[in-house]
Amino acid sequence: MEVSPMKRAVIFVLIISLLLIFAPFIRAKKPPKEGITNYAGKYFKDSSSPGYASYDREMSMYVAQRIKAQYNVDLDYTLYSAFDLLEIEALLKCKKSGEPVDSLLEPFQK
């Protein structure tokens, strides 16, 4: 039983199109190789613990990106600790519509 070249071409195009359609879903299921997830399950005794500085930097970057995406507020993650950024995010979530963002950031200015 021989398959015609036209059928082969149709099957090939069909397979390629399915791969292109489902490629983003396959890629999305891969776990991230770097970032904040590297610190999952790790504990730090205090801020002088080894690795805490890199954890705080990664967490600050992550929360600053999340604030930018959700509230369109661009914050420099190097100016705030991760916990300050988490508090700022909570305040942004609860802020009134007419309230300026600068008034929320004043307590965190160094």
Residue pLDDT, tens place only, 88-100: 999 999 888 888 8
Q: Which segments of the chain have a pLDDT < 50?
A: 32
pLDDT of residue 27: 58
Structural domain for 49, as ranges: 32-108
Residue 57 has which token pair?
Answer: 């930097």
- Shared domain check, 100 and 50: yes
Residues 6+ away with beta carbon under 8 Å from 85: 59, 60, 63, 64, 67, 75, 77
Residue whose tokens read 């200015």: 109
- Shared domain check, 14 and 56: no
Alpha helical stretches, state H, the chain: 5-28, 52-71, 82-94, 101-105
- Shared domain check, 76 and 104: yes
- How far apart are alpha carbons 93 and 67 in whole angstroms? 10
Size of the chain, expressed as the number of residues it contains: 110
- Shared domain check, 100 and 90: yes
pLDDT of residue 1: 63
- Shared domain check, 38 and 14: no
